[in-house]
Each structure stands twice: as C-alpha cells, then as structure tokens.
Chains A and B, each alone.
Chain A
C-alpha cells in the first residue's frame, strides 16, 4: 500500500483490518496455483494408476475395522467418481498459518452395498479405500509424506494428509487433505435421525436411535453439495470472503471454541451463508460490519432455540415434526440447504454456551476497547491457560475405562468420556464454577490407523474451569439437599460418599453438606481438593494422572511451609491499635489527625509480609529456642498532624521539625505503652506486637514546595511530601482494589516475585507492578476478570510481553471516573513526553507510561525506570516466561523443576555475575534457588564477614529485653547498601541487576564504553579493565561478596 491510499484511510481500524487480511490471507499467486495444480494432478495421476477391481480386504487396516466393529468390509477397488478441490481454497479463503487444500474424492457407488450404512461398514470401507490410496501415494516420488489425520477429531472418519515433495517459500507447511465424499451413496431415509444403524447400540435389547452416527454418514453424502453452495454464496461479493477470513482468525485465537465440539471453518462458512440467505448481510457492509452481525447473531439470536434452517428455495420447507426431531437429537441445529443434515451435529451445548459467551465478550470489546477492539478480537490469544481460572489435565493414556463399551457406537467413547467428566465436575462443583470445558484431542502425530483406535488416548484430556466468583470458590461448606427430601439426600450421599455430612445450619435447617476445612491462605486449594475427590471417587484414576494447575507457583511465596500472608490479620490488628494510640497522644503540641498505612503488607500485596518478630513484642519471653532473625522489615505508616501556622518554610527545617515531632511521638509511646522507639536522622521506628512501624509525617504545605530543579534538567524532582502524598494515594487506591478482587493480592505477589527473581528489582518498582496487575482486573477484556493466581500471573506476563509500550499509554482507572477530558489530558502528557524524548534524541522516557488518577503524567513510578533498554529485556523475559508457563499448563509435564524455571533466571545473560554469601543475606529463607556459575572467569573470591549473621546466635539471646532490642536491626539490608555504593562508584561503567527480595546473585552488564577509537590489539585491555573494575566491586562488598565471575568483557561501542 502506498502513501496515497494510506492517506485516504481515516479510520485506523479499517486500515488495521486491511493489513491483517494481507497478513493472513493465503494469496493465490501464480506460483501458488501452480503448486496446487501440480500437487493435485500428481495425486490424481497416482490414484489413476491404481488398478480397478483390486480386491480390498480388512487386512489393510485390521485394527481399525476391528475397533469400529464392522463386518463384511471386503470390496473391489474402483476409481473415484470425482476428484475435486473443495473447502476454503476454492473460495480463496485460506487463512495462514495453516495452509491446506481440501481434495474431495468421491467414493464410487460400486464399492458399496446398499446396506453398508449399517454397523460402521461405510466407515470401515471408507478407511480401507483411503488405505489403498495412501499405499499408492507413498510410492510416488512427488510426495514427501502421507499421514493420517482425523475429520474434526472423529476417529471413525480418518482423512489423508499429503505433503508434496516440492516445498515452495510462498506456502510453508503446505499440505493437501484427501477427504472422501459419499454423494448419493445411500438412501437418505435409511439415515433418518430416529433410526438405529448401529445394532450394538441398545438398551436392554431395545435399539436406540443413532443420530450422530447417521449424521456422520450424511455429512459425507452432502459434503460436495454444501461446498458448492457455500462457494456460490461466498463468491457473490468480496467482503463476504474477507469476513469469513476475519471470523476464522477470530475463532482460531480462541482455542475453547475452535474445537471439534464447537466451531470449525466449515460451520462458520455455512453460518455466514445462512445469514446471507436471511438477508441479514447486505452488499454495503464492510468485512468488520459483517463480522459484527455474525457475532451478534451468535450471541443474541433467538433462532438458535428453534434451530437454523435455510429459507426454502422451491423445495418443501422443513416440517415442524422434523424440526422437533432435530431439536431432540441435537443441542444445536444448523441444518444444511438440503435440509437433510445438521452440520453442527458435533456441537455440544457446553461448546455452544462457550461460543455465545465468547461472541458476547467480543462484542463488548468492539464497544469498549481502543480501535474497535481490534487487538482483543484478532491478535490476542485466548487459550485455556489464560481464559480459565483453573486448568486440569487428565492423563488417560492406556486408561481402559474409557472404552469399556467399545470405541464407537452412536457417539465415540472419547466424546462420551468428555461428557462424563463434565457432568461429574459440574455436579461436584455446583455453583462454584461458571463454565466447565472438557476437551480431549485425539489426533496423535504419526499415527498408524492400521493398528486401531486404542492409541488415540495419548494426549491428555484438558479441563478448563471458569469460576463464578472468588467468594464462592473460597467457601468452605457446600450445602446439599435438605434432610427431609429422601431421594435427593440419597443421591447426594451416593455422589459424595463419606464426605457427605448431615449438618445443622445457623438458620435451623438440617441439610446434607460437604465441608472443606482449610486455612484462610489455602482457600484457593479447596477447588483442587473437590476436583480430586470427585474424580478419584467416580473415575478409576490414580492421583498422579490428575494434574491440576493451582498451586505450582506457591512455593515462591511460602516461608517454610506457611504463607506469611497468614499473619496479615495480626498485622492489621496491630496497626489498628497503633493508630488508636497515636491519636490518643496528648503530650505533643499538635494532635495527630490521621494515620494511614503505606506499606504493601497492609494491602496484601507484599511478597513477604513480615511475621511478628519475637524481639519486637513489648513483653517477650526469650525462653523459646527458635532461631531469631537479626533483621526486621519496617512498615511505613503515614501520619498527618492538625494544621498550624507555625511551621517553618525552609524544606530542611520542615524535615527537622517533622523529626522532632516523631521523636516526641516515639517518646510518648515509649513512656505510655512501653513501646521501644529507635530513630535515625531520617526515620523513626516504633516496635509493637512484633512489628516495627516506621512513622512518617505528611506536611500538607510541603506539597506545594517543589524542590529546586537540578541545573537545566527538565525532569521534576518531587519533594518528600509529594512523594509521601502520592504513596498515600496509591496505597489507598490499591487497598480498595484488593477489597474488590481477593485474587488481586496473590497475583501481585507472584508478579513481584517474578520480576525480582529475574533481577529486575531495580527496573520496575513495586507500585508499578501493582498498577500493571490492577490493569488486568480493571480492563480484563477480552477475558473475564481473573479469578486464580496462575491465570492472573500468566496474563500479567502476557501484558508485559505484548503491550504496545512504545506507542500507547496504560491507563489504570480504578474507580472508573475518568472522563474524556482526563483521557485527553493523559494523551497530551504522553504525546509531549514522547515528543520531548524524540527531540532530545534521548531514549524514550518514560518507556512504560502508566497513568493513574493521582498521576496523569506517569511521573510517580516509571519516570526513570525501566528505560527502553531495560524494558526490552523485561519484555523478552516476560515473553519466554509466558510461553513456558503456557506449555507447562497444557502439556504433559509433571516435574516441579520446569515450574521452578519460571523463576530461575539464567545467569549467563549477564556480562559479569557477583554471587553473595547466602548466609549473610538478611532473610536467607527467601532465597529461591542458590545460584552457581560454572562459566566464565572466576575473578575474585571473598570471605564472609563475621560482623553480621541473619540469625541471632543462641549465646547472644540473653540479657534484658531492652538490650536484646538493640541487637535487632531495623531495615538493615546489606544488598541495598552494596547496590548503593556500587551505584555511587560505578554508575557510568556498570548496570546492576539484582533481586531485592532475597536473591544471592547480582548481574552486571557493562555500560556504554565511551566511543574512543581503539585498535584491535587493545581489545583485551578491556578485559583487564573489566577485571580491575570487578575487583573494585568485590572490595566494595567485602564480607558480603562470595565470588565474582566475568562472562563477557565490555563490548566496544563505536
């Protein structure tokens, strides 16, 4: 597209859609058509060489014939009646990346008997016919590979997949599917929905109707006709084809609806043709508008309950009785133009609900999201791990229970098993779950159909569960039927076994119930326990075959065996007491008017909320023989005093006055309540109930004082009060959000842990992470609000990896109170910041533009970091972590090591690595994985200092409590001291990457070496320099640094 046409596009969505179409549409260029024609004619030629009247017996595929249970399958081979291209290629709607051409091979009538529709004889012969073709194709040099695949995951209907030997660049992975068709092979009336055609399918000797089996044959009989019909419709005008492509892209991004029991390309094209025939789509519509009509129809139309029937063209309309019949046999009816076959016969009601839900969500995206929801519709992958809150994998390989009744009757055993698992879970979970999706893909790679169908259970069965609400999921009791209703009580007891209890509830009712006792911090595991209990009780599975994705990452948040968040209640209680005591203080000149918590531990988003410390309790007994940590994390609390005109005006004097106030407050608390107070020139801490609270005063007048700008730097420097104010705003905002979404806290904690463990602590501050996660909860589209920590965490990773940071703002609008003016203001801020960095030729800053109500110019958290280089790295890490996590959830992986890899950062990505003494970290138990380096040059080794130990030695735990308290170190963190000194000394030469949460490794990368022209021979001098620098680094961290390794000498930047 040249500049002129770009200029005519006023709407970016239109342009984007055009670009998208260009990207995904498989263009039928001359080269491509030649390739297709060549391949097809080669196939035709190979088939024409097959001798007529070749005797075909079951021996070609004995396993298959046995497993479908067919008899009398021998026939004499005849050449196919027709061979022609069908499917999306013939309507020019092939969507990349899956580039294939469907080739319809018309099965000749001579090979079949009149009654071959019975007992899978047709299916067996169909397969044998393909076996013959396959054998002959294999011997031809024109084909690289010929493989088996399944038609819509239906095992009794295999198809051949042929890869040509020629591999053109235009069509990577191109293949041809050979699909047998059976036009007018059998009498249609014999395949009526009410008829039983599988004799083995009976209940107590009475044959049951086999609608699915019949439809399976009917589908083949009308395949060609319907393809012609679709072709005629779609080719009527161009936008229809485009809309079809868009719909396919839309559906493919949603793995929960683009599966065998829901949508496929064929159904989409029929649906589109149907809407054309109803005149719901007209020629003036653009592709996106057509898409919208289709989605709207899916989501809201009442016609679905009646079934979709094409308006009669000349022939008779479908009678009411027939409709009733369809309705009885199938949950969803989309009758084809011939009115003989329900093309949606594989669709389940669950699949359809899911489809409706997705369509409705997408319509919401179109309304609410930027650019008409383009990204959410087409570019966002909505797979099980991100869509569903809980994912469960059942490994059913070799599980004979699946096929006890035989592989194929009316339905196939795998589909019945899906249904069974679904009904079990929906009964077991009750109103805890909103959606339960069970799908089992059965097409293994390199499958030999000759060996039968037992191999089709290779892939795990996947269950996705959307939770109705977190409160329900976390509830401990499920109330069953009232004790008076005998029948239901019995049913309940039968289902739950010994788990069923008769209980009396508060309102006086006596009812059957199940109770899942658990601690507050393990509530998210209740669902897991229920699922496991139900599946183990009703299916003969072993525990190791049930893999539930729930708690695999919890290890990173635990202290020992317990989640420290369980202490939050004690903490909040202590805070309440503290704020009461503060307000009661009388002996200071100004009264305390408000007390507000600042630390993330108060809002449940701290990775490690502190546990009560033995020595920080007012009256403690030292008799306990527990290891007592030396360090204690202070928790910041913001205080406001009542107004006064006597404050000094000078900023330094203000700070001094504040300190004087705080010391007075501390003394008062000490005298009245016996709370110990320690202070430095910068902060005042008081000990209470095992916590150290750090008091800060917000002085309102300080807000208007902006610190003098440093030199000519345009960046604003916030005053201490401004920073405090913003932190206070942020704290209350996030606290509110946490109250609305209980899963918010755990997701933030995982996200923070991830960021830190990949040594990004210096790049992304805690508050920024909280805002990013908040965005997931506030703008969840195209998903629902995440209700589990794993799903939330994965979405966080995807957000970081996929968001368009360079060109977009990320607006976190917690209370939904931004009007158009606010958005305009934010956008203007964004534009001016981008423009400024463009003009100055600097790196883009802020690279990550986070706007909130209290900070519309993204100055609070991401002004300096991450810079664009750091962000790039962060994005790359997030992407690979997200991919790994997705894989871990979906694929058969059970070892915990791979899960650990999500948080185990590869140290060889740094130019040099400093390893620290693990036993000198202030909180050694927070270390996830001890780091080791075996690459590079070992530059230095250091001994550990004896001056500091993370735990008090038993010998030291003596003396009075006051004495002991002096041994307690508030906020002492050797890593931050080390980092501070390094920054001071080497900020030009080195860039630091560290984990502030307790990692034992610091990564170093060389800063930009000045661009002096240097000769080659001096290149190794850099290494010397490097070693000297690293030794200096080691010296600065004496007693703390264990080893230093040099992996890469600085690169020369010219």
Chain B
C-alpha cells in the first residue's frame, strides 16, 4: 500500500505542476482502459492515483475498502462517486453542509445496502481528514476547478457507478416528504384561514383608509382636488370625498355619441375619402396576393401535392 501511496503522490505533484495538461490525462485514460482488461491491479493503482489528486483522504478509504470482504470493482466505483459528492458538499457553504450531513445520517439509518455502508465509512473518515489535505485543497482550489472536472470526467467515463438517492423521509427539504409536508401545511383549517383573511382585509382596509386620509389631507391643504372620470358604475358623488364628479349617466353619453355619429359626414362623401378607400382596397388586394404567392411557394417547398 505504501508504494501505492507514493505513486499517488507522484501523480498528484504532476497534476499540480501541469494542471492544464489534458493530453496527459487522456493518456492516462487510455492506459487505464488497457489495464482494465489485462491487469486489474494496475488499474486500481492508476485510478487511485487520480482520485488522490482530488482528495488524499481517499487513500484511507481505499484501504478500508480493500479490506472489505467484497472488494469488487463495482463497489469502488460507487464509492468514488460518493466521495465526489461529499467533496462538493464540503466546498458548499456551511449551512448547506449541515443539511447534507443530516442527510447522510439518514442514509446511515437506512443502511442495509452495501453502498450505504460505504457511505457510512466515508462519513467516519471525513473528520479525520488530514490538515495537509485540506491545505492542499485550498491551494489547489482554483486549479482544481479546472482539472477536477477533467479528472472526474475521465473517471466517470470509465466507471459505471450509480448514484444513490436517499428516500428523504427524515428531512423535508426536498422530494416526497417535502411535498407531503407542504400539502399538510397548506391546510391549517378553516378557522386559521379565516383569521388570515380577516387580518389581510383589516390591513388592506387600514391601508386604504390611510390613503384616503392622505388624499383628504392633501385636498384640505390645497383646497382643491382633481376630479377623475370614474369607470364602472356611475355615481354623482365620490363616495369617499363627497365631491360631485361626472353627473351624466353612461347610457346617456353613449346615446348621445351614437346620435352624433349619424350627423357626421359619410365616409365616402369627399373625393379624397373615396380615393383613399380605393387605394386601401388595392393595397389590401396586393398584400393578399403577396401572401397567396408566398403560401404557394411554401407549399411547393413542402411538397404538399403528392397524394401518395
């Protein structure tokens, strides 16, 4: 194992020195693929090395792993993916971190699955992460952002791990449990709802009252107010201020307008009107013709004439 670790470090340093050396990475990839078929042990090493450039603590984990009774490749895949997630979590703001921690705890509770066991193991190892590793991470943070993706990509491209989503029954932040909770929360009972509405209405009325008072105050100040034409039901007086506004009924106005229209000169009275109308008509026809032509072209393009 010692030699393996050394190797990892070597890789690590390499990575750090040439973070943008993607070609190198690709070579690794191909090597890896070759190894995959021939020498499973070799592959492990390379992989581990790569993982290491993400997080040193993995070394410890992989050790544990190797000790576990079923050290199948599949398991490892699972795990490394988990790790990445954890890592992401680590880099996330603290409050979120807490949340995820809780989530991990849930998983542990449900742990019948081997992969979950692994996660548990991971959790236990996390606090023991060496300072060195942390430091390294900080240092590399910027570089990592670039190389991380690549490294991850290459590992992921090779691996087939399946990310496990917890049932989420113990936390209400996401998923089914959240929806259920929201459902129940939105039904506090008729009394409470009524109360809320009452509160709202009281507030609303208070606000309106306030506005009215302000308006009145302003009116009192200046001694006059702007009369606004009101839509809707016609009242002679403004209910709020008692000032007489429009005093003509809507129907009456409309009637008047209708009468007025009749007296107006017909649309084709003047010569210029007729000429304009004619011109408009021609324009309309022309535009319609243009449209038709366009449509025909489109139809032909779409080959809409084939009956079979």
Contact = CB atoms under 8 A, between A and B. Distances in A.
A321 to B, nearest CB: 44
Contacts of B180: 947-948, 972
A422 interface: no
A817 interface: no
Interface in B278-308: 291-293, 295-300, 303-308
B233 interface: yes
Interface in A759-804: 804
B193 interface: yes
B168 A1038 contact: yes
Interface of B: 22, 26, 85, 110, 149-150, 152-154, 156-157, 160, 162-169, 174-180, 182-183, 186-187, 190, 193-194, 196-198, 200-201, 204, 232-233, 291-293, 295-300, 303-308
B307 A20 contact: yes
Contact of A6 (B149, B154, B197, B293): B293
Nearest to B163: A940
Contacts of A1037: 165, 174-176
Interface stretch (A490-498, A609-617, A653-661): A653-661
A682 B187 CA distance: 10
B153 A972 contact: no
B176 A938 contact: no
A981 B306 CA distance: 46
Interface in A392-441: none
Given A680-B186, A1036-B175, A940 B194 contact: no
10 contacts: A24-B306, A253-B307, A660-B198, A663-B190, A938-B162, A939-B163, A941-B163, A943-B166, A974-B176, A1023-B156
A663 B292 CA distance: 57
Given A253-B307, A663-B197, A946 B167 contact: yes
Interface string A944-982: 111110000000000000000000010010100110010
Nearest to A650: B204
A679 interface: yes
Contacts of B182: 977
B153 A1023 contact: yes
B174 A681 contact: no
A587 interface: no
B298 A807 contact: yes
A252 B308 CA distance: 10
A1017 B295 CA distance: 45
B175 A945 contact: yes
A945 B201 contact: no
Contacts of A7: 293
| Most chain B beta carbons < 10 A, residue from A19, A945, A974, A1017 | A945
A390 interface: no
Contacts, number: 173
Q: Which of B150, B176, B198, B306 has the most CB of A within 10 A?
A: B176
A112 to B, nearest CB: 41
B197 A656 contact: yes
Contacts of B175: 945, 1035-1041
A943 B308 contact: no
A97 interface: yes
Contacts of B190: 663, 666-667, 677, 679
A44 interface: no
A940 B179 contact: no
A331 interface: no
Interface in A12-71: 12, 15-16, 19-20, 22-24
Please give me the 4 A-B residue pairs with the lowest Cβ-Cβ distance, nearest first. Answer: A1038-B175, A1038-B168, A1039-B176, A942-B165
A677 B200 CA distance: 22
A12 B156 contact: no
Contacts of B164: 940-943
Nearest to B200: A656
A920 interface: yes
B194 A1021 contact: no
B176 A1040 contact: yes
B174 A1036 contact: yes
Given A943-B166, A1031-B85, 19 more contacts: A12-B295, A19-B299, A19-B305, A20-B307, A23-B307, A24-B308, A660-B201, A663-B193, A679-B187, A938-B162, A940-B163, A943-B167, A1024-B156, A1035-B175, A1036-B175, A1037-B165, A1038-B167, A1039-B168, A1041-B175
Nearest to A972: B183
Interface in A908-963: 920, 937-948
Contacts of B166: 942-943, 1038
A379 interface: yes
B306 A944 contact: no
Contacts of A944: 167
Interface in A1010-1054: 1017, 1020-1021, 1023-1024, 1027, 1031, 1034-1041
B194 A660 contact: yes
Contacts of B300: 19
- Tier of interface size on chain A: 35 or more
B160 A938 contact: yes
A1027 B304 contact: no
A659 B204 contact: no
Contact of A1031 (B163, B183, B196, B293): B163
A659 B192 CA distance: 13
A378 interface: yes
Contacts of B291: 831
Contact of A1038 (B165, B193, B233): B165
A645 interface: yes
B165 A249 contact: no
B306 A1021 contact: no
Contacts of B299: 16, 19, 807
Given A97-B308, A379-B307, A650-B204, A1035 B174 contact: yes
A249 B293 contact: no
Given A1038-B166, A1038-B174, A804 B304 contact: yes
Contact of B177 (A22, A978, A1039): A1039
A701 B232 CA distance: 9
Contact of B308 (A16, A96, A648, A1039): A96
A1041 B293 contact: no
Given A12-B292, A659-B193, A942-B167, A947 B306 contact: no
A939 B162 contact: yes
Given A20-B305, A1040-B175, A648 B296 contact: no
Contacts of B110: 943
B144 to A, nearest CB: 14
A598 B22 CA distance: 61
Given A23-B306, A804-B304, A1024 B153 contact: yes
B193 A947 contact: no
A678 interface: yes
Nearest to B194: A663
Contacts of B233: 645
Contacts of A974: 176, 179
Contacts of A1023: 153, 156-157
A932 B76 CA distance: 26
B239 to A, nearest CB: 9
Interface centre among B163, B165, B168, B303 (most CB of A within 10 A): B165
Nearest to B154: A1020
Contacts of A660: 194, 197-198, 201
Contacts of A831: 291
Nearest to A1027: B156
A634 B232 CA distance: 35
B157 A1020 contact: yes
Contacts of A15: 296
Given A645-B233, A1034-B163, A947 B177 contact: yes
A945 B167 contact: yes
A22 B303 CA distance: 11
Contacts of B22: 1017
Contacts of A807: 295, 298-299
Contacts of B149: 1021, 1024
Nearest to A12: B292
